A and B are shown apart, each in its own frame.
Chain A
Amino acid sequence: MELDPFVLSRIQFAANITFHILFPTITIGLGWFLLFFRVRFTQTQDMYWEHAYNFWVKVYALTFALGVVSGITMSFQFGTNWPGFMERTGNIAGPLLGYEVLTAFFLEASFLGIMLFGKQRVSNRTHLISTFLVAFGTSLSAFWILALNSWMHTPAGYEISEGQFFAESWAAIIFNPSFPYRFTHMMLASLLTSAFLVAGVCAYRIRKGVDGPATKMVLKSGIYTAAIVIPLQIIAGDLHGLNTLEHQPAKVAAMEAVWETEQGAGFTLIGLPDEDARETHFAIKIPYAASLILTHDLEGEVKGLNDFEAHPPVAPVFWSFRVMTGVGTLMLLVSWWGAWQLFRRDKLSSLALRSVSLMTFSGWVASVAGWYVTEIGRQPWIVQGLVSTTEVVAQHPSATLAGTLFGYVGLYLALMIAYMKALRIMAVKPAKSLEEDSNPLGTPLVGTAA
C-alpha cells in the first residue's frame, strides 16, 4: 500500500480515537458506580461502601486523566488533519461540539476536583452532588458527541448551499434517526465495560487473597449490573442494527458479507471475506438466518454489496462485528453464570472467579470492535452519502504524518502498558479492612521490622 497522506491521516485518527474511547467508556459507567457506593454509604453508614469508593475513585482519577488528555488531542485533530470537514459541516458540527464543551467538559472537570480531593473540605451532601455532577457531565458529554457522530451516519435537519451545510432544524439534527439507538447502545456499553472492570478486578483481588468485605460488595454490584444490562444491550444492539439496515444498508451488507442481493439470505457465522474475488471463503452459513434477523421474514430480501456504488471495506467490518457479538455472548454467559452462583451460594467458584477476572477488559474489546463496525462501515463517506472522507483530508507531507503517527502510537502503547501496570499495583494492594484486622493494636505497619 502506498503511504499516501489520506491513509496515514486515517490510521492516525483511528489510533487516537481508539486510544481515547477506552477511557471515557470506563468513566461514563464507573462514575455512576461511584455515586452508587457513596449513596449506599450515606444510607447505611457502612464503612465498607466507603472503602469501595476510596479504592475505585483512584482508578477513576487515573482513567479520567487519560480520557481528558487524549480527548484534547481529538479536538485539535479535526482541524489539523480534517480541515475540510469543519469547512463544510462546521455550521452543524461546531455548535454540537460547543454545547459539549459548555455544558459537559467544564462541569465534569471542575467538580472532579471536589469529587477526588474535596471530601474533607465540603459537606457529605456537597460531595454527593459533586460526584453526581461528574457522572452526569460524562454522560452529557456522550450525549452531544454521539449526536454529532450519529448525524454523520444519518444526516438530517440540514440544507446544502454551495457545498456548505446549513442547519434547518436543531431538533432534527440532534435527534437524527440513528441517535437514540447509538446513544442507548453506547451508554449500555459503558455500563457493561465498567461492570466487567469492577467485577474482574474484584475477582482478581479475591483470587490473590487481598480482598476485604468491600471487594465482595463491589463484585456483586458488578456482576448483577452486567447480568441485567447485557440482555438489554443485545436488544438495543439488534434495534440499532435494524436502524442501520434502513439508513446504511451497505454497512449491514458488509457486516454480513452479503455479496449479491438475495432472498432468504443465509447468515455467515464465520469465514474469510475476499473483496477481490467478491466471495467469502470457508463460509459456515445458517440458512435463511440473515433474512430472518434483518427482515424478520425467512424469505425477506437482503441487499447485497453489488447493489451499492460505493461500499465499505468488507473484511474489517465483518470481523469487527463478529468480535463484538462474540465477546457480547461471552459476557452474557459469564455474567449470568456468576449471578446464578452469587444468588445460590453468595460466592463464586474458583473457576468462575478466574473467568470473571479474565473478562476484566472484555468491555474494551467489544466497544472498540463495535466502533470499528460503525465507523469503518460508514466509509467511504465521512457524512453518509454526502461528503466523502477523501474530500476533507489535509494535504500534509507523508513524512510529517508518518512521524507524528509513529510518535502518537508509541506514546499510546507506553501509556497503555503503564495504565495496566498501575491497575495491577492497585489491585494487589491489601484491602484497607485487612490492614486494620491484622493490626488491632494500632502499631504502625511500616518500620516495625527495622
Chain B
Amino acid sequence: MSEALPLFFVSAMGLSLLLYVILDGFDLGVGMLLPFGTDAEKDVMIASIGPFWDANETWIVMGVGVLLIAFPKAHGIILTALYIPVTIMLVGLILRGAAFDFRVKSADHRQPMWNKLFALGSLMASMAQGWMLGAYITGLTGDPVSLAFSVLISLTLPALYIMLGGAWLLIKTEDELFDKAAHWCRLALPPMAFALLLVSIATPLVSQDIADRWFKLPDAIGLLPIPMSCGLAILGMDWMLRRPRVLHAGYGWFIFVALMVICLMAAIGLAYSIYPDIVIGRMTLWDAAAATESLQFIFWGAIVTLPAILGYTLYVHRVFSGKATELSYD
C-alpha cells in the first residue's frame, strides 16, 4: 500500500496537468485569438468559454495541490526554482480572469482595453507555462542551455494552446468565425509540430538515462506507437484543415480529438522519460513522498471525489453543449 500510494498520486498529478493543458489550453488559446476576431466575434469567442474557464483553471490548482500534498519536498524545490515564470503566469491568469468579467461590467469605452488585457494575460500565462515546462524537463538547472531551451518552448507552447483554442471554436461556432478558426489552426499547426519535436529531441539530450530508455532495443519498438500516433494526428489535422468542406460537414471536432491524442501521448512520453524521478536527476517520487498516513487520508477522499468531479464536469459540458450562444445571466 505505502509503495503504491506515491504512484497513485503521481498519476493523479499527471492526469490533472494533462486535463489542465487540454481544458485551460483551449480557453487560453481562445484568449490569445481574441484580438483577431471582430467585435461581435469577440463576444461569441468569450461566450464559448464563459461557463468553463473557471473550472478549467481549477485543474492547475489540483496539479500543484497534489504536488504539495503528496510530494511536499519536491514542491518547494520545483516552485522556488520556477519563481519568475510562476509569477508571470499568475499575473497573466489574474489579468485574464479579471478582464473576462470587467470587459462587460466596466464602462463601455473601456471594453477594448479589457479585451487587450484578456489576450495579453492569456499570452503571458501560456508563455510562462512553456518556460516552466522547458525549465522542468532540463532539470531546473538554470544553466544557459536550459534557459535557451526554456525560451524556445515558451515561444512554441502557445502554438499548442492556439490550436486547441481554434479547434474549440470549430466545435462551438459557425459561419465566418468557423472559417477563421480553421485558418488560425492551419497557421498554428507548423509551430506546434516544431515545439513537439523540440521537446522530444531535448529530453533524451538532457540525460543519458532518458536517451537509453528511448533508443534501446527492444523497448524502442514498444514505444513506437507514441511518435507514430502523434505523427498521424498531425498529418490528419493537416489533411482536414486543407479541406473546408469536410470541416463544414461537421467533422470540426476531429481536430480537437487529434490534439487530445497528441497531449495524451506527450504526457505518456514525458512520464516514461522521467519516471521514477520527480525532480529530474535529483529526487525520486519515493524520496519526495509525504508520510503514508497522510497519503492514505487523502487517498480515500480522492477515490470518492475524483469520479464525482469528472462526472459533474461532463454534466456541465453537456448542459452547455452545442454552438455557443450569447452569455446571459437572466
Q: Any chain B CB within 8 A of the CB of A310?
A: no
Smallest beta-carbon distance A87→chain B, Å: 5
In the complex, the answer to whether A80 meets B97 with C-beta atoms within 8 Å is no
List residues of B (177-219) whose CB comes within 8 Å of A's CBs.
none
Supply 5 further A-B pairs (C-beta < 8 A) apart from A79-B78, A79-B79, A114-B319. Answer: A72-B90, A73-B94, A101-B58, A113-B51, A167-B297
Question: Is A300 in contact with chain B by the CB < 8 A criterion?
Answer: no
- Give which listed residue, A65, A84, A94, A120, contacts B294 with CB less than 8 A: A94
Across the interface, do B76 and A394 meet the contact criterion of CB distance under 8 Å?
A: yes
Please, which residues of chain A bring their CB within 8 A of the CB of B98?
A: 65-66, 69, 415, 418
User: Which chain B residues numbered 64 to 96 have a C-beta less than 8 Å away from chain A?
Assistant: 64-70, 72-73, 75-80, 82-84, 86-87, 90-91, 93-96
Chain A residues near B72: list those with CB within 8 A: 86-87, 90-91, 94
Q: Which 8 A-B pairs have the closest CB atoms?
A: A90-B72, A83-B76, A79-B79, A113-B51, A69-B97, A94-B69, A109-B55, A91-B294
Is the CB of B329 closer than 8 A to any CB of chain A? Answer: yes
A334–chain B nearest beta-carbon distance, Å: 28
Q: Are A394 and B301 closer than 8 Å at their CB atoms?
A: no
Q: A76 contacts B101, CB within 8 Å?
A: no
The interface-forming segment of B31-39, B134-142, B233-241, B304-312 is B304-312
Query: Which chain B residues border A278 with CB–CB below 8 Å?
Result: none
Could you tell me how many residues of chain B have their Cβ less than 8 Å away from some Cβ of chain A?
A: 64
Binds A, one of B102-110, B250-258, B267-275: B102-110
* A74-116 CB contacts (< 8 Å) to partner B: 75-76, 78-80, 83-84, 86-87, 90-95, 97-99, 101-103, 105-107, 109-114, 116
In the complex formed, the residue of B with least CB distance to A401 is B83
B69 touches A95 (CB 8 A): yes
> B291 on the interface (CB 8 Å rule)?
yes
Q: Give chain A nearest CB distance to B135 CB in angstroms.
A: 13
Pick from B84, B94, B297: contact of A400, CB under 8 Å:
B84
Task: State the interface size on chain A (CB cutoff 8 A).
Answer: 68
Q: Secondary structure of the B side of the interface?
A: helix
Q: In the complex, are the beta carbons of B291 and A91 less than 8 A apart?
A: yes
A422 close to chain B: CB less than 8 A: yes
30 contacts between A and B (CB under 8 A): A54-B329, A65-B54, A69-B57, A69-B93, A69-B97, A79-B64, A80-B79, A80-B83, A83-B75, A84-B76, A91-B293, A91-B294, A101-B62, A101-B65, A103-B301, A103-B305, A106-B312, A109-B55, A109-B58, A113-B316, A114-B319, A117-B320, A119-B328, A120-B328, A166-B291, A400-B84, A407-B91, A415-B98, A418-B98, A425-B105
B90: nearest chain-A partner, CB-CB: A73
Is B100 part of the binding interface, using a Cβ–Cβ cutoff of 8 Å?
A: yes
Assuming A65-B100, A411-B95, A421-B106, is B54 touching A394 (CB within 8 A)?
no
Question: What chain A residues lie within 8 Å of B297 (beta carbons)?
Answer: 95, 167, 170
B50 within 8 A of A: yes
Q: Are B75 and A90 in contact (CB under 8 A)?
A: yes
- Given A58-B105, A66-B97, A109-B54, the answer on whether A396 and B80 have CB atoms closer than 8 Å is yes
Q: For chain A, residues 12 to 62, give those with C-beta under 8 angstroms from any C-beta of chain B.
A: 54, 57-58, 61-62
Q: Is the pair A95, B298 in contact by a Cβ cutoff of 8 Å? A: yes
8 Å CB contact of A114 from B51, B97, B101, B293 = B51
B291 and A86 form a contact (CB under 8 A) = no
**B263 on the A face (CB < 8 A):** no
Q: Report how far A68 CA is from B312 CA in the complex, Å.
A: 19
Query: B327: CB under 8 A from chain A?
Result: yes
Given A75-B65, A121-B320, A400-B84, verify A95-B102 contact (CB < 8 Å): no
Q: Which residue of B lies closest to A56 (CB)?
A: B329
CB of A426 closer than 8 Å to a CB of B: yes
Residues of B within 8 A of A286 (CB): none
Closest residue of chain B to A103, judged by CB? B305
- In the complex, chain A residues whose CB is within 8 Å of the CB of B51: 113-114, 116-118
Q: Mark B308-330, 1 if CB is under 8 A from A, else 0.
A: 01001100100110000001111
Judged by a CB distance under 8 angstroms, whether A3 is at the interface is no
Q: Is A404 an interface residue (CB 8 A)?
A: yes
| In contact, A404 and B87 (Cβ under 8 angstroms) | yes
B329 adjacent to A113 (CB under 8 Å): no
**Docked-complex contact B58 and A69, CB < 8 angstroms:** no
| B59 → chain A closest CB, angstroms | 9
Q: How far is the CA of A109 from the CA of B52 in the complex (A)?
A: 8
Q: How far is the CB of A62 from chain B (nearest CB, A)?
A: 4
Q: At the interface, yes or no: A288 with Cβ under 8 Å from chain B?
A: no
Nearest Cβ on chain A to B100's Cβ, whole angstroms: 6
Complex Cα distance, B298 from A93, in Å, reads 11
Knowing A65-B101, A91-B294, A408-B91, say if A106 contacts B55 (CB, 8 Å): yes
- Indicate if A150 sits at the interface (CB-CB under 8 A): no
Contact present for B94 and A119 (CB under 8 Å): no
Contact in complex: B86, A116 (CB < 8 Å): no
**A102 near B83: Cβ-Cβ < 8 Å:** no
**Is A172 part of the contact surface with B, judged by Cβ < 8 Å?**
no
- Expressed in whole angstroms, the Cα–Cα distance for A71 and B57 within the complex equals 11
A166 to B294 alpha-carbon distance, docked (Å): 8
Q: Is B145 an interface residue (CB 8 A)?
A: no
Does B246 count as interface, using CB distance less than 8 angstroms? no
**Would you call B90 and A102 a contact (CB within 8 A)?**
no
With an 8 A cutoff between CB atoms, is B226 at the interface? no
Q: Which of A259-275 contact B (CB under 8 A)?
A: none
User: Is the C-beta of B302 less than 8 angstroms from some C-beta in chain A?
Assistant: yes
For the complex, is A70 an interface residue (Cβ under 8 Å from B)?
A: yes
Among A72, A78, A93, A118, the residue within 8 A (CB) of B57 is: A72
- Chain B: minimal CB distance from A426 (Å): 7
Is residue B155 contacting chain A, with contact meaning CB distance below 8 A?
no
Bound-state Cα–Cα, A83 to B105, Å: 38
User: In the complex, what distance in Å separates the CA atom of A120 from the CA atom of B312?
Assistant: 19
- CB distance B68 to A79 under 8 Å? yes
Known: A91-B72, A116-B51, A167-B291. A394 touches B80 (CB 8 A): yes
In the bound assembly, the distance between CA atoms of A234 and B20 in angstroms comes to 43
- A110:B313 contact, CB within 8 angstroms: yes
Q: Given A404-B87, A422-B106 in contact, is the A101-B97 Cβ separation under 8 Å? A: no
User: Min CB distance, B201 to chain A, in Å?
Assistant: 30
